[in-house]
Amino acid sequence: MYNKTNQKTIANAIVCKGIGLHSGEDVFIKIKPAPVNHGIRFIRKDLPNYPEISSHFNMVIDTTLATVLGNGNGAIVSTIEHLMACFSGLGIDNAVVETNRYEIPIMDGSAAPFVEAITKAEIVEQNKPKIFFIVNKPIILQKNQQYAAIYPNSSFKITCSIQFDHPLIKNQSYSLEVTPENFINYIAKARTFGFLNNIQYMKQNGLAKGGSLDNAVVIDENGILNKEGLRFKDEFVRHKILDCLGDFSLIGMPIIGHIKVHKSGHAFNHLFLKKIFEEKKSWETKSAPV
């Protein structure tokens, strides 16, 4: 059974600097502590009046190449999935993320640099209990070959499978219970990946301006172009779990349930979130029992 646990934030503000994957711009973000029931909110410090954007699924305005949030008044924040996965994986409920650009830095293509910064800042318990999103009945979405489902479970678990027509990837599947320890050890270090021909096409069309071998695993028909190779033999599916954690964190509460996805991506994950919230009789929200 899930444990009674209080909300968490960070003890000290931290700064992360990097490049925007698609914009190619230098990005500076500051992650700051926040009070109970605040959630994760982004603040655009480069815009007049410092507009705020909440991290909830109904704020998603685009999922083409990344998950993009907007506040309805023109302010957006893009490529949030790795940082949001970090908050979810580490059990952080409340934080403020100030940024000087519209895109969160890609860092090394994984969540590991965010994990390192946040753990140095220290995670602290607050004086209010977490409110959990508890699944009571299965919710399933299937479209062509894509599949997403969430089932009742005693903890938060995620199972992901992928399929690519490339001999280096083929079919991969990975499953784990989401705890801070498991997230740090098995998921956080998995980097984003792409195929060389797709990346070249995006760059020719003004996208992926900041993409390089320093922040992505790049694959051509012969193999991996990164000299250091893979961090895990199945790094590809582990990174998909990282993306899923970021996308499903937009429920806004820690999940008690088992998520299963096949050949999913940001757009399909968002469709599934919409379906989850349509099926209100299949879940409930409450604090853990004493």
Q: Which residues are catalytic?
A: 266
Q: Quickly count: other Cβ atoms within 10 Å of residue 167's Cβ.
A: 9
Partners of 251 in the beta sheet? Answer: none
Which ranges of the chain would DSSP assign to H, the alpha helix? 81-90, 112-121, 180-182, 196-204, 235-248, 266-278
Do the beta carbons of residue 60 and residue 67 sit within 8 Å? yes
Do the beta carbons of residue 143 and residue 123 sit within 8 Å? no
Q: Which residues contact 174 (CB under 8 A, 6 or more apart)?
A: 159, 160, 161, 234, 237, 238, 241
**Integer Cα distance of 10 and 96 in angstroms:** 10
Do the beta carbons of residue 99 and residue 29 sit within 8 Å? yes
Going by C-alpha positions, the residue among 50, 125, 67, 9 that lies closest to residue 268 is: 67
Specify the DSSP class assigned to residue 131.
Answer: -
**Integer Cα distance of 102 and 25 in angstroms:** 10
Do the beta carbons of residue 63 and residue 76 sit within 8 Å? no
